[in-house]
Amino acid sequence: MSDLLDTVRGLAKKTDSKILMVVLDGVGGLPLTLNGDTELATAQTPNLDALARESQLGLVELVGAGITPGSGPGHLSLFGYDPLRYVVGRGALSAVGIGVKLNSGDVAVRGNFATLGRDRLILDRRAGRPSDEKNVEIVTLLRQAIPEIDGVPVEIYTESEHRFVVVFRSQGGEGLGANLSDVDPQVTGVQPMLAQAQDPASAKTAGLVNAFVARAEATLKGEEQVNGVLFRGYSDVPHFPSFEDAYQLKAACIASYPMYKGLASLVGMDVLEVEGHEDALDGKVEALTQNWAKYDFFYFHVKKTDSTGEDGDFAEKVHKIEIFDELLPQLLALKPDVLAIVGDHSTPSKLLSHSWHPVPLLIRSEYGRRDMTARYTEEEAQKGSLGLRRGPDVMPLLMANALKLNKYGA
Amino acid sequence: MSDLLDTVRGLAKKTDSKILMVVLDGVGGLPLTLNGDTELATAQTPNLDALARESQLGLVELVGAGITPGSGPGHLSLFGYDPLRYVVGRGALSAVGIGVKLNSGDVAVRGNFATLGRDRLILDRRAGRPSDEKNVEIVTLLRQAIPEIDGVPVEIYTESEHRFVVVFRSQGGEGLGANLSDVDPQVTGVQPMLAQAQDPASAKTAGLVNAFVARAEATLKGEEQVNGVLFRGYSDVPHFPSFEDAYQLKAACIASYPMYKGLASLVGMDVLEVEGHEDALDGKVEALTQNWAKYDFFYFHVKKTDSTGEDGDFAEKVHKIEIFDELLPQLLALKPDVLAIVGDHSTPSKLLSHSWHPVPLLIRSEYGRRDMTARYTEEEAQKGSLGLRRGPDVMPLLMANALKLNKYGA
């Protein structure tokens, strides 16, 4: 299957121009009442308004019509990787989500703590949903008990409640396969299943998984509720063309939450240090400014526009948009050749969740046609000169506006 | 090849919300004079206008740019089956078009009556275009003469003029193949060809077809004009994911013409009884109301907007649109969670035929953005918030607006 990325990859060239992609997480919204204003339309955003008047606007669907993107597919799409083609497995996404870097040949596995009764019969597939503190306590025990299996380093990480992640690190260039059957039978009243390899490359991994299960049960035999482990969702490292290989861009990620740093590192971006807590916007601007000379492309992530939508807090989402608006002049001062502002999905306060609605895209460069849109809002973007597009169109448009793509064909 | 339907299929969930899809057959039109009003723009539609003001509008291309859809591809596209991928063979479409239900393993074949001369040389490939009455007379003779061949039940149906359909019913679980060469040489002055199997599963079918040709000629040897048969276009039953499998929807079809009932049954919808003649709009509303509690999804078909366009009768098409407008409040009274109004293709009176022009799409749900479109017309739809889309986008959008799709990826 060929897609736009394959084509762009053959046309990309190195130049001195700089691209800044600002992702306002979940920025798209909905009005609370029929034909009312969205969060973006409600916000007072003088700086964004001024920018919109000198930019091109459009709408972007990250995955497809009606499809609500998770953060992984939403970001991959913005980075130019068609999310229906480039799929990150659950294990890898979990590892990435907690900031664990995976290397080629490693396998990441999603685990659940479970409660086992007599004869190892599963009583509760989620071990009564333990607290995060209990999870950390159990993970600490397991780390001490299982630092390695047959010479393969084993890393165990807390996710939340009953969820944890195991990474088996490949040694000496021998990659571990990830094609094996689940330990989790998905029902209670039966024993955990034996993992079985479904191809030769995964035979060793199956042995590691089964040994892990046995040693974990031995370690946790004194526990009442959290005394077993179930595995489901194994994944090796996705084999994506790196960002540098695809676009000839030296790229940096400026984000503060593990999931986004993980996704960026998955496509080979450098993840810059950011000082500060939570969204740490000042620290992000500082990191951007300090590193401006060193990279061709910056992915600048703003999280709170999403979290406030997930909380169903319309007013607070409006406020977070206004906070970004205040920060915007500092980004403009760096004079990026191409500036994009976009979301990875919509998160309307009305729905308290991600949604399928297209997100507004703004591109400012020297090479746009007249575009009379006056604000960075969903409604204005719908009238914009860029039209309604799929997510993987965004990177080629940015590359083109940065004059970093050769002509296709003679 | 993966498409949106495959993705949606993995995300669909059952909920209590109800979707009503109204298909105004061939509703899109053209102005009769430069920059004039289309049929939709000319019609007085107070109810549709009010609905448009609280809905999202857009335009839909059912197959692709410039492509004029037949009723089959047009409807499949609305049902979410990409018509470039999910192809219904001519034989099956003919059978479906006259209301014949096909089962797995059956083969449907398109036939033409022909005139044969000395040495079976073809004189006229359409037997002088006999009347429909003559067609029925000949089909009656053939039914008596060929009720079965080698134990395989044979069904023969009138289509129109020189056209008929034969269905070979598979017996005892042994499916008949449909991969064989044509009997129709597509020229005159030669003999009909022998059908030859192009795979082992079609060997038996080829024998049936050749036996049918011989027995038909023997039966019709006293006829002057209609004394031979030619076959072209064999098809087995298309293997589509059912509507219920694809969307987790219990779906009902409310239509009065055989073609539409056939297409709906092809994707596994229940076809409801409709009282009345021709378009039977009152009977359709009655069927919808009576069955409202029993289904999650209703396909409600209105035919006359197409037929009047095919007749080239602009004023009468306008009138049929106004008749639907009068009926609309009865549909709104059922309070569907998601209501869609759309066409399966355009049928401009100016062209007296189907056309390639996009059709207006209206979606009303709780989860739309501001959309200032004031009427359900082609011109307003073009300004609408849904944009210009392909037909297979429609179902995912309806599913999303009904909150029946899980998130894609974490």
* A68–B contact, CB cutoff 8 A: yes
With vertex at residue B38, the alpha carbon angle to CA B32 and CA B44, rounded to the nearest 5 degrees, is 125
- Contact residues, chain A, for B2 at CB < 8 Å: 84-85
3-state secondary structure at position B401 = helix
- Contact residues, chain A, for B399 at CB < 8 Å: 66
Give the position of tokens 């960075």. A376
* B388–A contact, CB cutoff 8 A: yes
DSSP string, A90-106: HHHHHHHHTTPPP-TT-
Tell me: pLDDT of A203 over 90.
Answer: yes
* B50–A contact, CB cutoff 8 A: no
Contact at CB, A69 and B408, closer than 8 angstroms: yes
Nearest to A64 among B387, B396, B409 (CB): B396
**Distance in Å, alpha carbon of B371 to nearest chain A alpha carbon:** 7
Q: How far is CA B261 from CA A78, B65, B267, in A?
A: 42, 27, 10
Tell me: pLDDT of A173 over 80.
Answer: no
**Phi, psi at A339, each rounded to 5°:** -120, 130
* B372–A contact, CB cutoff 8 A: yes
Contact at CB, B4 and A67, closer than 8 angstroms: yes
Separation between Cα atoms, residue A180 and residue A107, nearest integer Å: 11
* A66–B contact, CB cutoff 8 A: yes
Contact at CB, B405 and A83, closer than 8 angstroms: no
**Distance in Å, alpha carbon of B389 to nearest chain A alpha carbon:** 9
Among A376, A398, A399, A367, CA closest to A51: A376
**Interface confidence (ipTM) of the complex:** 0.88
CB A3 within 8 A of CB A85: yes
Give the residue-averaged pLDDT of A124-143.
95
Q: Which of A67, A349, A357 to mutate to test the interface with B (most CBs of B within 10 A)?
A: A67
3-state secondary structure A181-193: CCCCCCCCCCCCC
* B387–A contact, CB cutoff 8 A: yes
**Phi, psi at A162, each rounded to 5°:** -90, 5
Give the residue-averaged pLDDT of A335-364.
98
* A35–B contact, CB cutoff 8 A: yes
Among A282, A379, A328, CA closest to A47: A328
Q: Would the CA dihedral through B142, B144, B148, B153 be positive or negative?
A: positive
**Distance in Å, alpha carbon of B26 to nearest chain A alpha carbon:** 24
Provide CB contacts within 8 A for B33, sequence distance 6+: none
Q: How far is CA A176 from CA A101, A209, A239, A322, in A?
A: 16, 12, 14, 48
Q: Which of A356, A383, A388 to mutate to test the interface with B (most CBs of B within 10 A)?
A: A356
Separation between Cα atoms, residue A388 and residue A378, nearest integer Å: 11
Nearest to B367 among A30, A35, A388 (CB): A30
Contact at CB, A351 and B367, closer than 8 angstroms: yes
Separation between Cα atoms, residue B140 and residue A65, nearest integer Å: 50
Contact at CB, A65 and B397, closer than 8 angstroms: yes
Report the relative pairing of strands B270-271 and B163-168 from DSSP bridges: unpaired
Among B227, B94, B211, CA closest to B163: B94
Nearest-Cα residue of chain A relative to residue B370: A35
Contact at CB, B393 and A64, closer than 8 angstroms: yes
DSSP string, A38-107: -HHHHS--HHHHHHHHTSEEEEEESSSTT--B-HHHHHHHHTT--TTTS---HHHHHHHHTTPPP-TT-E
CB B291 within 8 A of CB B332: no
* B407–A contact, CB cutoff 8 A: yes
Contact at CB, A83 and B385, closer than 8 angstroms: no
Separation between Cα atoms, residue B364 and residue B341, nearest integer Å: 9
- Contact residues, chain B, for A64 at CB < 8 Å: 4, 7, 393, 396
What pLDDT is attached to residue A190? Answer: 96
CB A386 within 8 A of CB A58: yes
Tokens for A371, please give them. 């575009």
Portions of chain B given CATH number 3.40.720.10: 4-87+240-401
Separation between Cα atoms, residue A144 and residue A151, nearest integer Å: 15
Nearest-Cα residue of chain B relative to residue A263: B410
Separation between Cα atoms, residue A164 and residue A95, nearest integer Å: 9
Give alpha helix (H) positions in B83-174.
90-97, 132-145
With vertex at residue A60, the alpha carbon angle to CA A273 and CA A325, rounded to the nearest 5 degrees, is 50
Please classify residue A269 by burial: count the beta carbons closer than 10 Å to its beta carbon, then call 0-12 exposed, 13-18 middle and 19+ buried.
Answer: buried
Q: How far is CA B112 from CA A262, B221, B228, B252, in A?
A: 64, 16, 8, 34
Separation between Cα atoms, residue A355 and residue B187, nearest integer Å: 58
Question: Residues of A numbered 69-88 whose beta carbons fall under 8 angstroms of chain B's beta carbons: which are they?
Answer: 69-73, 83-85, 87-88
CA quadruple A24, A354, A311, A348: dihedral, nearest 10:
80
pLDDT band at A59 (very low <50, low <70, confident <90, very high): very high
What pLDDT is attached to residue A258? Answer: 85
Separation between Cα atoms, residue A318 and residue A27, nearest integer Å: 10
* A33–B contact, CB cutoff 8 A: no
- Contact residues, chain B, for A95 at CB < 8 Å: none
Nearest-Cα residue of chain A relative to residue B392: A65
CATH class assigned to A4-86+240-401: alpha beta
Nearest-Cα residue of chain A relative to residue B373: A35
* B149–A contact, CB cutoff 8 A: no
- Contact residues, chain A, for B21 at CB < 8 Å: none
Helix (H), strand (E) at residue B100 = none
Architecture field, domain B4-87+240-401:
3-Layer(aba) Sandwich (3.40)
Which value, in Å, is the radius of gyration of the alpha carbons in chain A? 23
Contact at CB, B408 and A68, closer than 8 angstroms: yes
**Distance in Å, alpha carbon of B250 to nearest chain A alpha carbon:** 20
Contact at CB, A66 and B367, closer than 8 angstroms: no
* A258–B contact, CB cutoff 8 A: no
Provide CB contacts within 8 A for B16, sequence distance 6+: none
Portions of chain A given CATH number 3.30.70: 94-236
**Phi, psi at B266, each rounded to 5°:** -60, -35
* Topology (CATH) of B94-236: Alpha-Beta Plaits (3.30.70)
- Contact residues, chain B, for A36 at CB < 8 Å: 370
CB B315 within 8 A of CB B38: no
Q: How far is CA A2 from CA A5, A81, A83, A391, B50, in A?
A: 8, 12, 14, 16, 45
CA A119 to chain centre: 40
- Contact residues, chain A, for B8 at CB < 8 Å: 66-67
Nearest-Cα residue of chain A relative to residue B393: A65
Under DSSP, the state recorded for B18 is: -
Per-residue pLDDT tens listing for chain B (410 residues): 458 999 999 999 999 999 999 999 999 999 999 999 999 999 999 999 999 999 999 999 999 999 999 999 999 999 999 999 998 888 888 888 888 888 889 999 999 999 999 999 999 999 999 999 999 999 999 999 999 999 999 999 998 899 999 999 998 878 899 999 999 999 999 999 999 999 999 999 999 999 999 999 999 999 999 999 999 989 888 878 899 999 999 999 999 988 899 899 889 899 999 999 889 999 999 999 999 999 999 999 999 999 999 999 999 999 999 999 999 999 999 999 999 999 999 999 999 999 999 999 999 999 999 999 999 999 999 999 999 999 999 999 999 999 999 999 87
3-state secondary structure at position B85 = coil
Helix (H), strand (E) at residue B245 = helix B243-247
Tell me: pLDDT of A382 over 80.
Answer: yes
- Contact residues, chain B, for A87 at CB < 8 Å: 409
DSSP string, B23-45: EETTBB---SSTT---HHHHS--
The single-letter code of the amino acid at A33 is T
Q: What is the pLDDT of residues A264-294, one digit of tens each?
A: 988 989 999 999 988 999 999 999 999 999 9
What pLDDT is attached to residue A2? Answer: 62
Tell me: pLDDT of A133 over 90.
Answer: yes
pLDDT band at A238 (very low <50, low <70, confident <90, very high): confident
Give the residue-averaged pLDDT of A70-95.
91
Among A345, A330, A360, CA closest to A55: A360
- Contact residues, chain B, for A73 at CB < 8 Å: 408-409
Portions of chain A given CATH number 3.40.720.10: 4-86+240-401
CB B380 within 8 A of CB B38: no
CB B247 within 8 A of CB B295: no
